[in-house]
């Protein structure tokens, strides 16, 4: 089996892909919550900044963003390592999409609940932390699951800024062996398998979130 010989190099690439994807999901989630909450709860200035960020990163293409950060930005003196560039841009990109999920979920928490919170003398931060977010979080999880898969798929674009991820390895092996069918099939299967694992992880997190929301804050006194 000739294609068995591709496996070591491909799995090295898959590790990089996994690392970049998980980092981007983590950092992207932070960006998503920051921007999403700023859109709903922030003052005019803050929500405007969040809006600009969201529109800028949703409105332009990820590949354009990657190339811009990788080739263009250094010319004005701002430069990161390739891997950091890849993670940063991917995070900001999916974070912008995530912020829309956060915003939508927060806004779906009913007005009555906000009124009830006010009646209980909850501050804005308390309301957000103890009333809105726990409910919204449950709401967000399925969409976040899809976004996580999207992140994994989009991570393949970092191969184009010379990061040796799974796609990059596939390209190099094909360049040497010229066995396009074998290499790309194996790569597709690799991504599919990673997607399934990622789906499983997101389901687990979703279950944890649900459980957390069902028994809210026993410790809160």
Partner 1 sequence: MPFSKIAGLSAIALAAGLSAAGATTLKDVKDQGYIRVATANEVPYSYMKDDGTSAGIGPDVANAVLKKLGVAEANWSVTPFGTLIPGLKAKRFDFVAAEQNISPERCKQVSFTEPNSSYGEGLLVKKGNPKKLTTYADIAKDPSLKVAVVSGANNIDFLRAVGVKDSQVIFITANADALATVQSRADAYAATELTVASLAKGQANVEQVAPFTDPVVNGKPVRNFGGFAFRPEDKELRDAFNAALVEFRKSEDYKKILGTYGLSEASIKAAAERKVEDLCAGK
Partner 2 sequence: MMYGFEWDTTTPLSYASSILPIILIGLTVTLQAAAAGFAIALVLGLVFALLRRSRFTAVSWTTAIVVEFLRDTPLLVQLFFLYYVLPDYGITLPAFLTGALALGLQYSAYTSEVYRGGIEAVPRGQWEAATALNLSRLQTYRDIVVPQIVPRILPAMGNYLVAMIKETPVLSVVTVLEMMGLANMIGERTFEYLVPLTLVGLIFLLLTLICSAGLHRLQKALPKAGIPLR
Q: Least distance (Å) from partner 2 to the CB of residue 49?
A: 16
CA distance readout (Å), 42 to 51, 103, 132, 174: 11, 11, 15, 50
| Contact by Cβ (8 Å): 39, 54 | yes
Interface with partner 1 (CB under 8 A), residue from 7, 15, 63, 189: 15
| Contact by Cβ (8 Å): 173, 11 | no
Interface with partner 2 (CB under 8 A), residue from 12, 58, 114, 130: 58
Nearer to partner 2, 75 or 218 (CB): 75
Cβ neighbour number for residue 97 with a 10 Å cutoff: 19
15: contact with partner 2 by CB under 8 A: no
Nearer to partner 1, 43 or 77 (CB): 77
104: contact with partner 1 by CB under 8 A: no
Q: Least distance (Å) from partner 2 to the CB of residue 71?
A: 4
> Chain-centre distance of CA 205, in angstroms?
14
Q: Least distance (Å) from partner 2 to the CB of residue 24?
A: 14
How many residues of this chain bind partner 1 (CB under 8 A)? 34
Q: Residue 198: how many CA atoms within 13 Å on its side-chain side?
A: 23
Give all strands (DSSP E) within 56-202, no chain letters.
none
Question: Distance between CA 166 and CA 159 in Å, rounded?
Answer: 8
99: contact with partner 2 by CB under 8 A: no
End-to-end CA distance of the chain: 64
Q: Which two tokens stand for residue 193?
A: 């398998």
76: contact with partner 2 by CB under 8 A: yes
195: contact with partner 1 by CB under 8 A: no
Nearer to partner 1, 75 or 119 (CB): 75
Nearer to partner 1, 55 or 81 (CB): 81
Give 60's DSSP letter.
S
Question: Distance between CA 114 and CA 40 in Å, rounded?
Answer: 13
Q: Segment contacting partner 2 (CB under 8 A): 32-40, 69-77, 127-135, 210-218? A: 69-77
Question: Distance between CA 57 and CA 98 in Å, rounded?
Answer: 11
Q: Using CB under 8 A, list all residues that contact partner 1.
A: 9, 15-16, 18-20, 22-23, 70-75, 77-84, 87-88, 162, 164, 171-176, 178, 180
Q: Using CB under 8 A, list all residues that contact partner 2.
A: 55-56, 58-65, 67-68, 71-72, 75-76, 149, 152-157, 159-160, 167, 170-171, 174, 180-181, 184-185, 187-188, 191-192, 195-196
């Amino acid at each position: 089996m000739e294609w068995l010989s591709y496996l070591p190099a491909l799995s090295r690439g898959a590790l990089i892909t996994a690392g970049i994807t998980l980092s981007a999901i983590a950092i992207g989630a932070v960006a998503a919550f920051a921007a999403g909450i700023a859109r709903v709860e922030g003052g005019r200035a803050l929500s405007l900044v969040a809006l600009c960020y969201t529109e800028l990163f949703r409105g332009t293409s990820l590949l354009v963003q990657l190339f811009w950060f990788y080739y263009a930005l250094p010319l004005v003196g701002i430069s990161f390592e390739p891997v950091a560039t890849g993670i940063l841009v991917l995070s900001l990109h999916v974070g912008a999409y995530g912020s829309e999920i956060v915003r939508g979920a927060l806004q779906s928490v009913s007005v009555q609940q906000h009124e009830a919170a006010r009646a209980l003398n909850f501050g804005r931060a308390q309301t957000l932390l103890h009333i809105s977010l726990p409910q919204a979080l449950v709401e967000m999880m399925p969409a976040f699951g899809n976004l996580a898969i999207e992140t994994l798929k989009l991570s393949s674009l970092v191969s184009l800024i010379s990061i040796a991820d799974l796609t990059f390895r596939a390209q190099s092996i094909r360049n040497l062996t010229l066995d396009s069918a074998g290499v790309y099939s194996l790569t597709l299967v690799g991504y599919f398998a990673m997607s399934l694992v990622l789906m499983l992880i997101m389901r687990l997190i979703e279950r944890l979130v649900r459980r957390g929301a069902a028994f809210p804050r026993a410790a809160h006194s």
